[in-house]
Amino acid sequence: MGAEVSRNHAFGQNSYHVAYPKRQDSNPVAFLKKQGPKPVLTFHKSSEWRAYFETTKSSKKLIVIDFGAAWCGPCRVMEPFYKELATKFPDVEFVKLDVDELMDVADEWEIQAMPTFILVKQGRVVEKVVGARKDDLAMKVEKYRL
């Protein structure tokens, strides 16, 4: 399944949009699990995020949610580190949500600053890290992953 990448110029900045071919099944979670090596999951629709989150409530697996924005400098600084954590901890689900795309979700989670990392187990918040605090985030992922 190939992806089509387009490059747009907006306000002097490059932005990229990855368009995946239309999937046959309507289950977004099943589609994500077929993608191979564990990436950082991203959601662009509130309904898909909520469907995914509902499926995690019965799991004891740690979910780390990164709330950020494309224009946020500290968020961009944390992005490579966040991807490294996803590789280092394959037993943890890493999710990235853009507060500008999913404003209603950001409001529900009471996001006040970015980046905000919320660690969730069985649908409950177990920890929160606000700001570009790499060591703190890594320590808390390590602490709650098992």
Compute how many other C-beta atoms are within 10 angstroms of the C-beta atom of residue 143: 12
28-144 CATH fold:
Glutaredoxin (3.40.30)
Of 63, 75, 111, 132, which is the active-site residue? 75
Query: What pLDDT score does 146 carry?
Result: 87
Interval 12-41 mean pLDDT: 49
pLDDT in tens, 123-141: 999 999 999 999 999 999 9
> Phi/psi class of residue 40: alpha, beta or left (left: φ > 0; alpha: ψ in -120 to 50)?
beta
pLDDT in tens, 79-128: 999 999 999 999 999 999 999 999 999 999 999 999 999 999 999 999 99
User: Does 75 participate in catalysis according to the annotation?
Assistant: yes
Of 63, 64, 72, 95, which is the active-site residue? 72
String of b and e for 79-110 (b: at least 16 CB within 10 Å)? beebeebbeebeebbbbbbbbebbeebbeebe
Query: What pLDDT score does 37 carry?
Result: 54
Closest CA to 121 of 66, 78, 77, 64: 64
Higher pLDDT, 36 or 93: 93
Q: What is the chain's percent helix, strand, coil content, to nearest 5?
A: 35, 30, 35
User: Does 72 participate in catalysis according to the annotation?
Assistant: yes
